[in-house]
Amino acid sequence: MLTSWKLAPLQPPAGSDTLGSSSSRPCIGNVPCGGPMITTCTEPGMVALTFDDGPYTYTNDLLNLLDHLDTKATFFITGNNRGKTPIDNPSAEWPGILRRMNDAGHQIASHTWTHRDLNQATETDRRAEIVNNEMAMRNIFGWIPTYFRPPYLECNAGSGCENTLGDLAYHSISTNLDTKDYMFDDPNLIQQSKDRFSNGLPLDPHTGSYIVLAHDVHEQTVHGLTLFMVNLAKERGYKLVTVGECLGDPKQNWYRSADMFR
């Protein structure tokens, strides 16, 4: 159940909040909501590339590359981080990039408003981080995502975070193949992320499926690592998909109307 609360002073986007008068949200589809975080796909032989923290300077280049490679990915969007303006700022490039992302068939998911550690946040601030991002998505698309990745992969039961995500009916997504690309954003270092991907991806695609963690805010990820990952996954016989697809979840379940709680 959703309890009454007040948005923390995090400069929320324009418009009413996305909770409205509803006291609860239904979990859409068969993928569990709340916690613990989901680390693996349910469908065999798949690779779901995921990119956190954008949109950012390099995101358009990444969309160009994925379009050229005929590959879909999942983007965990942070609304107001890294010194950029809010993603729903109509005078900024971000709304156009996000619409392009959606039109291309990529999955859009939430990664909070300002990238705070949700285990360390108060309940009020934690909900504000999530709902502020919903409001910005609503302002751009008219819907909000049902998939979510906690910043730093930090969201446990003890802090109350899993309960918050359950209340807000989010599928919480982790990873079972972390490229650690944020550590190697240098032409002389990015090979280490390539090695992590290669070593973590079995030669036989029948042995499992993988949710791969990377970031579209890092130049070497966009201009070097991604092409390597796509080519190697295809070479080894994996199918490149979105997170929703690798969990067997139909596309209509990836988003909910922002009007349904008003």
Express each pLDDT in 209-247 by its tens digit: 999 999 999 999 999 999 999 999 999 999 999 999 999
The full length of the chain comes to 262
Mean pLDDT calculated for residue range 56-85: 97
**Is the pLDDT score of 40 beyond 80?**
yes
Catalytic residue list: 52, 215
Which residues lie closer than 8 Å to 18 by C-beta, 6 or more apart?
A: 131, 134, 135, 138, 144, 258, 261
Helix pair 226-235, 191-200: axis angle to 10 deg: 20
**Residue 134, Cβ density class (10 Å: 0-12 exposed, 13-18 middle, ≥19 buried):** buried
On average, the pLDDT of the chain sits at: 93
* Residue 23 neighbours by CB distance under 10 Å: 12
pLDDT value at residue 177: 99
pLDDT at residue 37 above 70?
yes
Per residue in 130-170, pLDDT tens?
999 999 999 999 999 999 999 999 999 999 999 999 999 99
What pLDDT band is residue 262 in, cutting at 50, 70 and 90? very low
**259 or 238: which carries more pLDDT confidence?**
238
Q: What is the per-residue pLDDT for 3?
A: 39
What mean pLDDT is predicted for residues 174-192? Answer: 99
How far, in Å, are 36, 43, 112, 256 from residue 131 at the CA level?
A: 20, 30, 8, 13
Helix (H) or strand (E) holding 196: helix 191-200
Mean pLDDT of 89-93: 96
Strand partners, 256: 144
% of the chain with per-residue pLDDT over 70: 93
Q: What is the pLDDT of residue 15?
A: 86
CA dist., res. 100 & res. 105, Å (int): 9
Helix (H, G, I), strand (E, B) or coil at 10: coil
Has residue 120 got a pLDDT over 70? yes
Evaluate if residue 63 carries a pLDDT over 80.
yes
Could you tell me which of 103, 109, 101 has the C-alpha nearest to residue 246? 109
Residue 5 scores a pLDDT above 80: no
pLDDT of 138 reads 97
pLDDT score, position 260: 53
User: 2 is written with which tokens?
Assistant: 């959703």
Average pLDDT score over residue span 184-199: 99
pLDDT of 9: 45
